[in-house]
């Protein structure tokens, strides 16, 4: 930032006082400043009614790097100057309430055998709406909750498929061909101080990748996420902020992927902890144990280490382990996997990412390598092209892995997400 002359500094200070003060105070400061600098070519601050002028409009006649104010609009890398938030249109900023959603549409030329199972078509993956109130216990007892509702080809993998058929949103008439509806979350929450407790139907804590499209870098998903982790639970989950650096979780659930239903005696523990080891390293350990419902009796955990190498470069290491009875199928369902991610953000608009995965199920190894780009032409829009290559040298017809077919080879995919 360049050094300001005394006259310019006084002009800037007077302008900022004028912007921040009441109409009366604004006029007083402006008149005094204009009287002092009567030789200026224009008045210090121009007002239209009671609208204050954007400080950037009266800033230095230089580029943003040398601007004497923060000129985000002038420095923006977005192709389109558009940003809209549905929640801001409905609720006050400090109300604690929010409503929003997104639309995700995409194309892939071959099936990954995971979420992207409808190749050769331009699919509506997720049309999503949510409403929530944040439970903030910082000032005493508070309450909150959230509900999510979606439609798209991802519904079959978002519904409570760990339920008995016909319960909640699973096989209840909500599916229409490859499209369907789902209610992946509905819970209430109370908070007091550093402790909060939610009860109902909610997303899992396991893993790094998630079901909600805007929260992932890649269009496709890892084998580990799809096959070795729950997506949702029904139960009670407590969160305790032990310190600024440590958060502990603990609760009880009706197994994996249930929606207000218990399948095959599902009754399990969900918990773990997350710790900021340094300012740049965070490690999270989450486990489930007990009767996992449709997965049977078993144990699973995920370990995720998130490392900020620089301001622009981020590395993530994940390892999952699962040992379960496989819900009556022959033998156990034993899996272990290692995922590694590397992200580089060239700007707020362009990010590059890579993912390498090894996942082993019942002695058979699966591999995938993915490279992709995130491009944001506007703050509310992201376009995610990617190229993925997956293979399994020893893939066979083991009944324990019949649910994880691999279409070996290169797979191209691209999607776009619009949030609101």
| Domain ranges within the chain, ordered by starting residue | 6-75, 86-419
Mean pLDDT score of the chain: 85
Separation of first and last alpha carbons in the chain: 35
Q: What is the pLDDT of residues 210-240, one digit of tens each?
A: 999 999 999 999 999 999 999 999 999 999 9
Query: What is the reported pLDDT for 116?
Result: 93
> Which helix (H) or strand (E) element contains residue 32?
helix 23-36
- Reported as a pLDDT band with limits 50, 70 and 90, residue 76 is confident
Helices (H), 201-290: 223-227
| Residue 134 scores a pLDDT above 90 | yes
- Reported as a pLDDT band with limits 50, 70 and 90, residue 26 is very low
Query: What is the reported pLDDT for 1?
Result: 41
- Residues 6+ positions from 87 with CB-CB distance below 8 Å: 97, 98, 99, 100
Residue 387 CA neighbour count, 13 Å, CB half: 2
Report d(CA 117, CA 148) in Å as an integer.
23
Query: What is the reported pLDDT for 67?
Result: 38
| Residue 318 scores a pLDDT above 50 | yes
The DSSP bridge pattern shows strands 409-419 and 333-345 to be unpaired
% of the chain beyond a pLDDT of 90 = 71
| Residue 197 scores a pLDDT above 90 | yes
Third-level CATH fold of 86-419: Porin (2.40.160)
Instruction: Residue 286: count other Cβ atoms within 10 Å of its Cβ.
Output: 21
| Residue 329 scores a pLDDT above 90 | no
User: Is pTM beyond 0.85 here?
Assistant: no
| Residue 31 scores a pLDDT above 60 | no
Q: What is the pLDDT of residues 238-265, one digit of tens each?
A: 999 999 999 999 999 999 999 999 998 8
- Reported as a pLDDT band with limits 50, 70 and 90, residue 61 is very low
> Which helix (H) or strand (E) element contains residue 139?
none
Query: What is the reported pLDDT for 408?
Result: 85
Q: Which two tokens stand for residue 200?
A: 């109902």
Query: What is the reported pLDDT for 95?
Result: 84
């Amino acid at each position: 930032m360049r050094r300001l002359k005394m006259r310019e500094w006084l002009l800037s200070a007077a302008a900022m006082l004028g912007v921040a003060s009441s109409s009366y105070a604004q006029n007083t400061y402006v008149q005094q400043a204009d009287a002092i600098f009567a030789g200026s070519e224009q008045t210090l601050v121009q007002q239209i009614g009671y609208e204050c002028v954007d400080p950037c409009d009266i800033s230095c006649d230089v580029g943003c790097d040398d601007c004497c104010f923060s000129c985000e609009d002038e420095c923006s890398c977005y192709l389109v100057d558009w940003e809209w938030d549905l929640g801001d249109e409905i609720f006050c900023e400090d109300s604690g309430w929010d409503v929003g959603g997104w639309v995700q549409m995409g194309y892939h030329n071959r099936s990954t055998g995971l979420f992207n199972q409808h190749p050769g078509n331009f699919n509506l993956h997720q049309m999503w709406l949510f409403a929530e109130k944040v439970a903030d216990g910082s000032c005493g007892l508070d309450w909150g909750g959230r509900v999510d509702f979606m439609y798209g080809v991802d519904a079959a993998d978002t519904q409570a498929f760990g339920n008995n058929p016909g319960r909640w949103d699973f096989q209840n008439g909500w599916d229409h061909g490859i499209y369907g509806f789902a209610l992946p979350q509905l819970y209430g929450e109370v908070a007091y101080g550093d402790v909060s407790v939610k009860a109902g139907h909610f997303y899992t804590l396991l893993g790094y990748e998630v079901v909600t499209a805007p929260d992932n870098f890649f269009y496709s998903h890892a084998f580990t996420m799809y096959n070795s982790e729950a997506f949702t639970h029904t139960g009670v989950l407590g969160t305790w902020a032990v310190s600024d650096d440590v958060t502990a979780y603990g609760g009880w659930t009706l197994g994996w992927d249930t929606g207000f239903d218990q399948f095959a005696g599902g009754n399990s523990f969900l918990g773990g902890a997350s710790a900021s080891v340094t300012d740049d390293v965070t490690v999270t350990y989450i486990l489930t144990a007990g009767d996992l419902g449709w997965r049977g009796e078993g144990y699973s955990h995920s370990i995720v280490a998130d490392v900020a190498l620089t301001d622009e470069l981020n590395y993530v290491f994940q390892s999952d382990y699962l040992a379960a009875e496989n819900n009556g199928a022959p033998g156990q369902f034993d899996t272990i996997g290692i995922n590694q991610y590397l992200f580089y953000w060239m700007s707020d608009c362009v990010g590059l990412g890579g993912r390498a995965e090894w996942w082993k199920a019942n002695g058979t190894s699966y591999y995938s390598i993915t490279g992709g780009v995130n491009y944001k032409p506007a703050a509310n829009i992201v376009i995610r092209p990617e190229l993925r290559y997956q293979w399994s040298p020893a893939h066979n017809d083991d009944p324990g892995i019949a649910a994880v077919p691999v279409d070996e080879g290169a797979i191209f995919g691209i999607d776009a997400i619009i949030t609101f």
